[in-house]
Amino acid sequence: MLIRELTTDQCFDLLERSNLGRLACARDGQPYIVPVNYSFDRVRKCLYVFSTIGQKVAWMRENPKVCVEVDEVRDKDHWTTVVIFGRYEEITDGDTDARKRAQDLFQHRVEWWFPAAGKLPEKEAEAVVLYRIVIDRLSGRHASRGTKA
């Protein structure tokens, strides 16, 4: 099996093709990982995500250092993975620029509102948080069987 490193552009290409990642955060030495749907902003080098307020948002508010893993797996011999080290930044109502950018990117996905914005009671709907993961650094690997990648 040949495993090679991806360039930054190749990592960005995977982030654009996908919309599902695994977000890891930590609090008091305890890691926590959950799947998230995202939209990637290549220009601003960040992922836009939204969620209801819960454990991950509470933990990221306390410790904004996060990690996100995104992958494409065809089989055990053919896969690509990207790991992002970044920072959680909550997007406030006043940040209309970021909110509009996120909305524009979300609209490119047919089911962009699943699953976080499913029918919520009105009280809980007010508890939806829009945030971005700002990419500080990332790396990627691609595996293939044989001598050519």
Domains and CATH numbers, the chain: 2-144 (2.30.110.10)
Is residue 12 within 8 Å of 40, Cβ to Cβ?
Answer: yes
Number of other residues whose CB lies within 10 A of the CB of residue 86: 21
Number of other residues whose CB lies within 10 A of the CB of residue 133: 26
Mean pLDDT of the chain: 88
Task: Note the Cα 48 to chain centre separation in Å.
Answer: 7
Going by pLDDT thresholds of 50, 70 and 90, the confidence category of residue 119 is very low
Is the four-CA dihedral 27, 31, 36, 42 of positive or negative sign? positive
| Res 123: pLDDT | 53
> Is the pLDDT reported for residue 114 higher than 80?
no
**What pTM does this model have?**
0.84
Q: Where are the beta strands (DSSP E) in the chain?
A: 2-5, 20-27, 30-37, 39-41, 46-52, 65-75, 78-90, 128-144
Going by pLDDT thresholds of 50, 70 and 90, the confidence category of residue 118 is very low
> Is the pLDDT reported for residue 38 higher than 80?
yes
